[in-house]
Structure 1
Amino acid sequence: MIRIGCSGWNYLHWRGSFYPEKLAMKRWFAFYADHFDSVEINNSFYRLPKPETVDGWRDQAPPGFCYAVKANRYLTQALKLTNCEEPMERMMASFRHFGPTLGPILYQLPPSLTFNLDRLESFLKLQPADIVPVFEFRHRSWYEDATYDLLDRHGASLCVHDMAGSSSPRMVTGRAAYVRFHGCQGKYWGRYAEDNLREWAGWMTDQARQGRAVWAYFNNDINADAIHDALALKYMVG
Protein backbone atom coordinates (compact mmCIF):
# COMPACT_ATOMS: atom_id res chain seq x y z
CA MET A 1 0.00 0.00 0.00
CA ILE A 2 1.34 3.41 -1.01
CA ARG A 3 -0.48 6.56 0.03
CA ILE A 4 0.62 9.93 -1.34
CA GLY A 5 -0.79 13.32 -0.43
CA CYS A 6 -0.04 16.78 0.90
CA SER A 7 0.61 18.28 4.32
CA GLY A 8 -2.78 19.95 4.52
CA TRP A 9 -5.43 20.91 2.01
CA ASN A 10 -6.79 24.27 3.15
CA TYR A 11 -4.32 26.70 1.56
CA LEU A 12 -5.86 29.90 0.21
CA HIS A 13 -3.09 30.29 -2.37
CA TRP A 14 -4.14 27.01 -3.98
CA ARG A 15 -7.28 28.66 -5.29
CA GLY A 16 -6.97 28.88 -9.04
CA SER A 17 -3.86 26.71 -9.24
CA PHE A 18 -5.60 23.60 -7.86
CA TYR A 19 -9.05 24.46 -6.59
CA PRO A 20 -11.39 25.99 -9.15
CA GLU A 21 -11.78 29.75 -8.66
CA LYS A 22 -15.49 29.54 -7.91
CA LEU A 23 -15.44 26.39 -5.77
CA ALA A 24 -16.67 27.15 -2.24
CA MET A 25 -14.06 26.48 0.45
CA LYS A 26 -16.42 24.09 2.22
CA ARG A 27 -16.08 21.84 -0.83
CA TRP A 28 -12.29 21.96 -1.01
CA PHE A 29 -11.74 18.81 1.00
CA ALA A 30 -14.07 16.80 -1.22
CA PHE A 31 -12.19 18.11 -4.25
CA TYR A 32 -8.86 17.18 -2.65
CA ALA A 33 -10.16 13.71 -1.76
CA ASP A 34 -11.13 13.16 -5.39
CA HIS A 35 -7.40 13.26 -6.17
CA PHE A 36 -5.75 11.75 -3.08
CA ASP A 37 -6.57 9.08 -0.50
CA SER A 38 -4.65 10.65 2.37
CA VAL A 39 -3.64 13.97 3.91
CA GLU A 40 -1.31 14.94 6.72
CA ILE A 41 -2.95 17.15 9.35
CA ASN A 42 -0.55 19.70 10.81
CA ASN A 43 -2.75 22.11 12.76
CA SER A 44 -3.06 19.50 15.52
CA PHE A 45 0.60 20.32 16.23
CA TYR A 46 -0.34 23.84 17.31
CA ARG A 47 -3.62 23.13 19.03
CA LEU A 48 -5.16 19.85 20.14
CA PRO A 49 -8.39 19.51 18.15
CA LYS A 50 -11.67 19.15 19.98
CA PRO A 51 -13.41 15.79 19.61
CA GLU A 52 -16.19 17.37 17.57
CA THR A 53 -13.62 18.80 15.16
CA VAL A 54 -12.11 15.35 14.68
CA ASP A 55 -15.61 13.93 14.23
CA GLY A 56 -16.09 16.36 11.35
CA TRP A 57 -12.82 15.32 9.71
CA ARG A 58 -13.76 11.65 10.10
CA ASP A 59 -17.24 12.11 8.69
CA GLN A 60 -16.08 14.07 5.64
CA ALA A 61 -13.61 11.37 4.59
CA PRO A 62 -14.71 9.10 1.74
CA PRO A 63 -14.34 5.31 2.14
CA GLY A 64 -10.71 4.26 2.30
CA PHE A 65 -9.37 7.73 3.06
CA CYS A 66 -6.82 8.04 5.89
CA TYR A 67 -5.34 10.89 7.88
CA ALA A 68 -1.78 11.07 9.15
CA VAL A 69 -1.85 13.39 12.16
CA LYS A 70 0.93 15.44 13.69
CA ALA A 71 1.14 15.09 17.46
CA ASN A 72 0.62 18.16 19.59
CA ARG A 73 3.78 20.16 20.21
CA TYR A 74 3.18 20.17 23.97
CA LEU A 75 4.59 16.64 24.07
CA THR A 76 7.52 17.22 21.75
CA GLN A 77 8.44 20.89 22.13
CA ALA A 78 7.45 21.73 25.71
CA LEU A 79 7.81 18.43 27.56
CA LYS A 80 10.39 17.08 25.11
CA LEU A 81 9.07 13.52 25.55
CA THR A 82 9.23 13.54 29.38
CA ASN A 83 6.31 13.16 31.83
CA CYS A 84 3.93 12.62 28.95
CA GLU A 85 1.53 10.03 30.38
CA GLU A 86 -1.43 12.35 31.01
CA PRO A 87 -1.05 14.59 27.93
CA MET A 88 -0.62 11.49 25.78
CA GLU A 89 -3.89 10.09 27.10
CA ARG A 90 -5.57 13.42 26.41
CA MET A 91 -4.25 13.58 22.87
CA MET A 92 -5.25 10.01 22.10
CA ALA A 93 -8.73 10.60 23.50
CA SER A 94 -9.10 13.27 20.83
CA PHE A 95 -7.44 11.32 18.02
CA ARG A 96 -9.52 8.19 18.66
CA HIS A 97 -12.44 10.11 17.20
CA PHE A 98 -10.85 9.62 13.78
CA GLY A 99 -11.96 6.00 14.03
CA PRO A 100 -10.93 3.93 11.00
CA THR A 101 -9.63 7.02 9.18
CA LEU A 102 -6.68 7.39 11.59
CA GLY A 103 -3.30 6.52 10.12
CA PRO A 104 0.18 7.21 11.57
CA ILE A 105 0.87 9.80 14.25
CA LEU A 106 3.85 12.03 13.48
CA TYR A 107 6.06 13.29 16.31
CA GLN A 108 8.20 16.19 15.15
CA LEU A 109 11.03 16.73 17.61
CA PRO A 110 12.62 20.17 18.01
CA PRO A 111 16.23 20.93 16.97
CA SER A 112 17.01 21.53 20.65
CA LEU A 113 16.26 17.90 21.52
CA THR A 114 19.43 15.96 20.87
CA PHE A 115 20.22 12.25 21.01
CA ASN A 116 18.82 10.68 24.18
CA LEU A 117 17.88 7.02 23.88
CA ASP A 118 16.52 6.65 27.41
CA ARG A 119 14.11 9.51 26.90
CA LEU A 120 12.99 8.18 23.54
CA GLU A 121 12.50 4.66 24.86
CA SER A 122 10.38 5.86 27.79
CA PHE A 123 8.19 7.76 25.35
CA LEU A 124 7.93 4.82 22.96
CA LYS A 125 6.53 2.68 25.77
CA LEU A 126 3.53 5.03 25.94
CA GLN A 127 2.52 4.44 22.32
CA PRO A 128 -0.71 2.52 21.64
CA ALA A 129 -0.02 -0.85 20.05
CA ASP A 130 -2.50 -0.29 17.21
CA ILE A 131 -1.02 3.02 16.04
CA VAL A 132 2.11 3.55 13.93
CA PRO A 133 4.20 6.27 15.60
CA VAL A 134 6.55 8.20 13.31
CA PHE A 135 9.47 10.31 14.50
CA GLU A 136 10.83 13.27 12.57
CA PHE A 137 14.15 14.28 14.08
CA ARG A 138 15.35 17.83 13.59
CA HIS A 139 18.84 17.28 15.03
CA ARG A 140 21.38 15.12 13.22
CA SER A 141 22.67 13.50 16.43
CA TRP A 142 19.70 11.11 16.28
CA TYR A 143 20.82 9.48 13.05
CA GLU A 144 22.58 6.53 14.66
CA ASP A 145 22.13 2.76 14.45
CA ALA A 146 21.10 2.73 18.11
CA THR A 147 18.17 5.02 17.28
CA TYR A 148 17.08 2.89 14.34
CA ASP A 149 17.31 -0.30 16.40
CA LEU A 150 15.21 1.22 19.19
CA LEU A 151 12.53 2.47 16.81
CA ASP A 152 12.46 -0.90 15.08
CA ARG A 153 11.99 -2.81 18.33
CA HIS A 154 8.96 -0.70 19.15
CA GLY A 155 7.44 -0.82 15.68
CA ALA A 156 8.04 2.91 15.24
CA SER A 157 8.98 4.54 11.94
CA LEU A 158 11.72 7.01 11.15
CA CYS A 159 10.44 9.96 9.15
CA VAL A 160 12.59 10.35 6.06
CA HIS A 161 12.72 14.06 5.25
CA ASP A 162 14.74 16.73 3.46
CA MET A 163 14.44 19.75 5.75
CA ALA A 164 17.62 21.77 5.30
CA GLY A 165 19.98 21.40 8.24
CA SER A 166 18.43 18.22 9.63
CA SER A 167 17.65 16.05 6.62
CA SER A 168 17.54 12.35 7.37
CA PRO A 169 19.11 9.32 5.74
CA ARG A 170 16.78 7.15 3.71
CA MET A 171 16.35 4.59 6.46
CA VAL A 172 13.24 2.55 7.18
CA THR A 173 12.31 1.24 10.62
CA GLY A 174 9.19 -0.33 12.05
CA ARG A 175 6.05 -1.15 10.16
CA ALA A 176 5.96 1.66 7.63
CA ALA A 177 8.03 3.92 5.42
CA TYR A 178 7.13 7.57 5.96
CA VAL A 179 8.47 10.41 3.80
CA ARG A 180 8.03 14.19 4.03
CA PHE A 181 9.07 16.43 1.15
CA HIS A 182 9.66 19.93 2.53
CA GLY A 183 10.84 21.57 -0.70
CA CYS A 184 13.89 21.17 -2.90
CA GLN A 185 14.72 24.87 -3.35
CA GLY A 186 14.03 26.17 0.13
CA LYS A 187 11.71 25.80 3.08
CA TYR A 188 8.31 24.75 1.73
CA TRP A 189 8.95 25.69 -1.88
CA GLY A 190 10.39 24.36 -5.11
CA ARG A 191 9.19 21.70 -7.54
CA TYR A 192 10.99 18.37 -7.50
CA ALA A 193 12.62 17.22 -10.73
CA GLU A 194 10.89 14.43 -12.62
CA ASP A 195 13.96 12.18 -12.38
CA ASN A 196 14.06 12.71 -8.62
CA LEU A 197 10.40 11.79 -8.23
CA ARG A 198 10.82 8.78 -10.46
CA GLU A 199 13.67 7.52 -8.29
CA TRP A 200 11.51 7.98 -5.20
CA ALA A 201 8.68 6.11 -6.91
CA GLY A 202 10.97 3.13 -7.44
CA TRP A 203 12.11 3.19 -3.83
CA MET A 204 8.55 3.38 -2.51
CA THR A 205 7.45 0.55 -4.76
CA ASP A 206 10.29 -1.59 -3.41
CA GLN A 207 9.21 -0.83 0.16
CA ALA A 208 5.63 -1.79 -0.62
CA ARG A 209 6.78 -5.05 -2.21
CA GLN A 210 8.57 -5.86 1.04
CA GLY A 211 5.24 -5.61 2.84
CA ARG A 212 5.55 -2.14 4.32
CA ALA A 213 2.89 0.51 4.18
CA VAL A 214 4.24 3.67 2.54
CA TRP A 215 3.07 7.17 3.45
CA ALA A 216 4.43 10.20 1.58
CA TYR A 217 3.45 13.85 1.96
CA PHE A 218 4.52 17.01 0.19
CA ASN A 219 4.90 20.11 2.36
CA ASN A 220 6.14 22.48 -0.38
CA ASP A 221 2.82 24.31 -0.42
CA ILE A 222 4.06 27.56 -2.01
CA ASN A 223 2.73 27.96 -5.57
CA ALA A 224 0.81 24.70 -5.04
CA ASP A 225 4.03 22.83 -5.82
CA ALA A 226 2.96 20.17 -3.32
CA ILE A 227 -0.13 19.35 -5.35
CA HIS A 228 1.72 19.07 -8.64
CA ASP A 229 4.53 16.95 -7.18
CA ALA A 230 2.14 14.68 -5.29
CA LEU A 231 0.05 14.09 -8.39
CA ALA A 232 3.17 13.34 -10.43
CA LEU A 233 4.52 10.87 -7.87
CA LYS A 234 1.11 9.25 -7.50
CA TYR A 235 0.98 8.69 -11.25
CA MET A 236 4.49 7.19 -11.23
CA VAL A 237 3.74 4.61 -8.56
CA GLY A 238 0.56 3.63 -10.40
Structure 2
Amino acid sequence: MSGAPAPTARRAVLRRRIRLLVAATITYNLVEAVVAIIAGTIADSVALIGFGLDSVVEVSSAAAVAWQFAGPDPERREKVALRVIAWSFFALAAYVAVEALRTLIGAERPEHSPVGIGLVALSVLVMPFLSHAQRRAGREYGSASAVADSRQTLLCTYLSAAVLVGLVLNSTLGWWWADPVVALGLAVVAVREGRAALRGETCCAPVQLGQADEDGDPPAGGCGCGGGPAS
Protein backbone atom coordinates (compact mmCIF):
# COMPACT_ATOMS: atom_id res chain seq x y z
CA MET A 1 0.00 0.00 0.00
CA SER A 2 1.45 3.35 -0.98
CA GLY A 3 1.61 6.07 1.62
CA ALA A 4 2.38 9.80 1.56
CA PRO A 5 5.65 10.68 -0.16
CA ALA A 6 8.67 10.96 2.08
CA PRO A 7 9.78 14.55 2.70
CA THR A 8 12.83 14.22 0.44
CA ALA A 9 10.72 12.71 -2.36
CA ARG A 10 8.10 15.42 -1.99
CA ARG A 11 10.73 18.16 -2.17
CA ALA A 12 12.10 16.61 -5.36
CA VAL A 13 8.60 16.70 -6.86
CA LEU A 14 8.19 20.33 -5.85
CA ARG A 15 11.56 21.27 -7.36
CA ARG A 16 10.60 19.69 -10.69
CA ARG A 17 7.22 21.43 -10.60
CA ILE A 18 8.81 24.82 -9.93
CA ARG A 19 11.27 24.31 -12.80
CA LEU A 20 8.44 23.42 -15.21
CA LEU A 21 6.36 26.43 -14.15
CA VAL A 22 9.36 28.72 -14.52
CA ALA A 23 10.02 27.36 -18.02
CA ALA A 24 6.39 27.96 -19.00
CA THR A 25 6.56 31.51 -17.60
CA ILE A 26 9.75 32.30 -19.51
CA THR A 27 8.36 30.97 -22.81
CA TYR A 28 5.08 32.86 -22.56
CA ASN A 29 6.70 36.11 -21.48
CA LEU A 30 9.29 36.07 -24.27
CA VAL A 31 6.52 35.96 -26.87
CA GLU A 32 4.48 38.51 -24.94
CA ALA A 33 7.42 40.92 -24.66
CA VAL A 34 8.17 40.91 -28.39
CA VAL A 35 4.55 41.48 -29.42
CA ALA A 36 3.86 44.13 -26.75
CA ILE A 37 7.00 46.18 -27.42
CA ILE A 38 6.42 46.17 -31.20
CA ALA A 39 2.74 47.07 -30.81
CA GLY A 40 3.53 49.71 -28.19
CA THR A 41 6.20 51.31 -30.37
CA ILE A 42 3.83 51.49 -33.32
CA ALA A 43 1.08 53.05 -31.17
CA ASP A 44 3.42 55.25 -29.05
CA SER A 45 1.88 53.63 -25.96
CA VAL A 46 4.13 53.90 -22.90
CA ALA A 47 1.82 51.59 -20.93
CA LEU A 48 1.99 48.92 -23.64
CA ILE A 49 5.77 49.25 -23.96
CA GLY A 50 6.04 49.12 -20.17
CA PHE A 51 3.89 46.00 -20.27
CA GLY A 52 6.34 44.44 -22.73
CA LEU A 53 9.29 45.44 -20.56
CA ASP A 54 7.53 43.95 -17.54
CA SER A 55 7.49 40.71 -19.51
CA VAL A 56 11.27 41.05 -19.97
CA VAL A 57 11.61 41.63 -16.22
CA GLU A 58 9.45 38.57 -15.60
CA VAL A 59 11.78 36.54 -17.81
CA SER A 60 14.84 37.69 -15.83
CA SER A 61 13.04 36.97 -12.57
CA ALA A 62 11.98 33.50 -13.70
CA ALA A 63 15.48 32.85 -15.07
CA ALA A 64 16.93 33.65 -11.64
CA VAL A 65 14.63 31.08 -10.06
CA ALA A 66 15.48 28.56 -12.81
CA TRP A 67 19.17 29.09 -12.07
CA GLN A 68 18.55 28.66 -8.36
CA PHE A 69 16.68 25.37 -8.73
CA ALA A 70 19.08 23.99 -11.34
CA GLY A 71 21.72 23.59 -8.63
CA PRO A 72 21.90 20.72 -6.12
CA ASP A 73 21.24 23.07 -3.19
CA PRO A 74 18.65 25.74 -4.13
CA GLU A 75 18.64 27.24 -0.62
CA ARG A 76 22.24 28.43 -1.00
CA ARG A 77 21.33 30.44 -4.11
CA GLU A 78 18.18 31.97 -2.60
CA LYS A 79 19.59 35.40 -1.66
CA VAL A 80 21.18 35.97 -5.06
CA ALA A 81 17.93 35.06 -6.83
CA LEU A 82 15.98 37.44 -4.60
CA ARG A 83 18.38 40.30 -5.38
CA VAL A 84 17.98 39.71 -9.12
CA ILE A 85 14.18 39.75 -8.76
CA ALA A 86 14.25 42.92 -6.62
CA TRP A 87 16.46 44.91 -9.00
CA SER A 88 14.35 43.74 -11.93
CA PHE A 89 11.37 45.40 -10.25
CA PHE A 90 13.35 48.60 -9.69
CA ALA A 91 14.56 48.76 -13.30
CA LEU A 92 11.02 48.37 -14.56
CA ALA A 93 9.73 51.10 -12.21
CA ALA A 94 12.43 53.58 -13.28
CA TYR A 95 11.88 53.17 -17.01
CA VAL A 96 8.09 53.23 -16.87
CA ALA A 97 7.99 56.28 -14.57
CA VAL A 98 10.29 58.32 -16.83
CA GLU A 99 8.42 57.42 -20.02
CA ALA A 100 5.01 58.03 -18.43
CA LEU A 101 6.05 61.51 -17.25
CA ARG A 102 7.45 62.32 -20.71
CA THR A 103 4.10 61.41 -22.24
CA LEU A 104 2.15 63.51 -19.74
CA ILE A 105 4.27 66.64 -20.28
CA GLY A 106 4.10 66.70 -24.04
CA ALA A 107 5.50 63.67 -25.85
CA GLU A 108 3.46 61.99 -28.60
CA ARG A 109 0.06 60.77 -27.51
CA PRO A 110 -0.67 57.03 -27.71
CA GLU A 111 -2.76 55.71 -30.59
CA HIS A 112 -5.31 52.89 -30.85
CA SER A 113 -3.75 49.39 -30.72
CA PRO A 114 -6.08 46.43 -31.43
CA VAL A 115 -3.15 44.00 -31.25
CA GLY A 116 -2.15 45.40 -27.87
CA ILE A 117 -5.69 45.07 -26.53
CA GLY A 118 -5.91 41.44 -27.65
CA LEU A 119 -2.51 40.55 -26.19
CA VAL A 120 -3.20 42.17 -22.83
CA ALA A 121 -6.64 40.54 -22.59
CA LEU A 122 -5.02 37.13 -23.15
CA SER A 123 -2.52 37.80 -20.37
CA VAL A 124 -5.34 38.63 -17.95
CA LEU A 125 -6.56 35.06 -18.49
CA VAL A 126 -3.21 33.21 -18.53
CA MET A 127 -1.08 34.85 -15.83
CA PRO A 128 -3.25 34.12 -12.74
CA PHE A 129 -2.96 30.37 -13.35
CA LEU A 130 0.83 30.46 -13.63
CA SER A 131 1.12 32.66 -10.54
CA HIS A 132 -1.17 30.54 -8.41
CA ALA A 133 0.51 27.25 -9.35
CA GLN A 134 4.00 28.58 -8.60
CA ARG A 135 2.89 30.20 -5.35
CA ARG A 136 1.49 26.87 -4.14
CA ALA A 137 4.68 24.99 -4.96
CA GLY A 138 6.93 27.73 -3.58
CA ARG A 139 5.01 28.02 -0.32
CA GLU A 140 5.08 24.30 0.31
CA TYR A 141 8.77 24.07 -0.56
CA GLY A 142 9.58 27.12 1.56
CA SER A 143 11.30 29.09 -1.22
CA ALA A 144 11.22 32.88 -0.92
CA SER A 145 12.46 33.33 -4.48
CA ALA A 146 9.78 31.08 -5.99
CA VAL A 147 7.10 32.99 -4.07
CA ALA A 148 8.64 36.33 -5.09
CA ASP A 149 8.61 35.24 -8.73
CA SER A 150 4.95 34.23 -8.40
CA ARG A 151 4.28 37.74 -7.09
CA GLN A 152 6.04 39.14 -10.13
CA THR A 153 3.72 37.05 -12.31
CA LEU A 154 0.72 38.24 -10.29
CA LEU A 155 1.89 41.83 -10.73
CA CYS A 156 1.86 41.14 -14.47
CA THR A 157 -1.79 40.12 -14.09
CA TYR A 158 -2.67 43.38 -12.34
CA LEU A 159 -0.66 45.28 -14.91
CA SER A 160 -2.48 43.49 -17.71
CA ALA A 161 -5.86 44.52 -16.30
CA ALA A 162 -4.75 48.13 -15.75
CA VAL A 163 -3.15 48.44 -19.19
CA LEU A 164 -6.25 46.92 -20.77
CA VAL A 165 -8.41 49.59 -19.13
CA GLY A 166 -6.04 52.32 -20.31
CA LEU A 167 -5.93 51.03 -23.89
CA VAL A 168 -9.70 50.66 -24.08
CA LEU A 169 -10.31 54.15 -22.66
CA ASN A 170 -7.86 55.62 -25.15
CA SER A 171 -9.45 53.73 -28.05
CA THR A 172 -13.09 54.35 -27.18
CA LEU A 173 -13.11 57.75 -25.44
CA GLY A 174 -9.85 59.30 -26.57
CA TRP A 175 -8.55 59.51 -23.00
CA TRP A 176 -4.87 59.47 -24.00
CA TRP A 177 -3.75 60.39 -20.47
CA ALA A 178 -5.16 57.11 -19.10
CA ASP A 179 -2.22 55.28 -20.69
CA PRO A 180 0.63 57.09 -18.82
CA VAL A 181 -1.38 57.31 -15.60
CA VAL A 182 -1.77 53.52 -15.61
CA ALA A 183 1.97 53.22 -16.23
CA LEU A 184 2.76 55.43 -13.22
CA GLY A 185 0.59 53.22 -11.03
CA LEU A 186 2.57 50.23 -12.21
CA ALA A 187 5.85 51.95 -11.28
CA VAL A 188 4.65 52.51 -7.70
CA VAL A 189 3.61 48.88 -7.28
CA ALA A 190 6.87 47.64 -8.81
CA VAL A 191 8.94 49.65 -6.29
CA ARG A 192 6.93 48.21 -3.41
CA GLU A 193 7.37 44.64 -4.65
CA GLY A 194 11.07 45.21 -5.29
CA ARG A 195 11.62 46.42 -1.73
CA ALA A 196 9.78 43.39 -0.35
CA ALA A 197 11.91 41.00 -2.43
CA LEU A 198 15.12 42.80 -1.45
CA ARG A 199 14.27 42.41 2.22
CA GLY A 200 13.24 38.80 1.69
CA GLU A 201 9.75 39.48 3.04
CA THR A 202 8.07 36.92 0.82
CA CYS A 203 8.66 33.80 2.87
CA CYS A 204 9.42 32.43 6.29
CA ALA A 205 9.98 28.81 7.34
CA PRO A 206 8.84 26.06 4.98
CA VAL A 207 5.54 24.36 5.68
CA GLN A 208 5.89 20.88 7.15
CA LEU A 209 5.57 18.64 4.12
CA GLY A 210 2.24 16.88 4.03
CA GLN A 211 0.57 19.50 6.26
CA ALA A 212 -0.28 22.11 3.62
CA ASP A 213 -3.87 22.20 2.44
CA GLU A 214 -4.93 21.49 -1.14
CA ASP A 215 -4.09 25.07 -2.15
CA GLY A 216 -0.57 24.79 -0.76
CA ASP A 217 -1.45 27.05 2.17
CA PRO A 218 -0.07 26.36 5.66
CA PRO A 219 -2.36 24.88 8.30
CA ALA A 220 -4.08 27.20 10.76
CA GLY A 221 -1.48 28.74 13.03
CA GLY A 222 1.30 27.71 10.67
CA CYS A 223 3.69 29.92 8.80
CA GLY A 224 4.81 28.99 5.35
CA CYS A 225 5.48 31.52 2.61
CA GLY A 226 2.98 34.26 2.32
CA GLY A 227 2.51 37.97 2.45
CA GLY A 228 1.78 38.30 -1.23
CA PRO A 229 -1.43 39.46 -2.79
CA ALA A 230 -4.10 36.89 -2.79
CA SER A 231 -4.54 35.24 -6.12
Q: Which has the higher contact order (CA 8 A, sep 6+)?
A: 2
What TM-score range do you get, normalising by the shorter chain? under 0.3
Between structures 1 and 2, the one with greater helix share: 2
Larger-Rg structure? 2
Give the TM-score, by structure 1 length. Answer: 0.23
Question: Under a length normalisation based on structure 2, what TM-score does the superposition of the two structures give?
Answer: 0.24
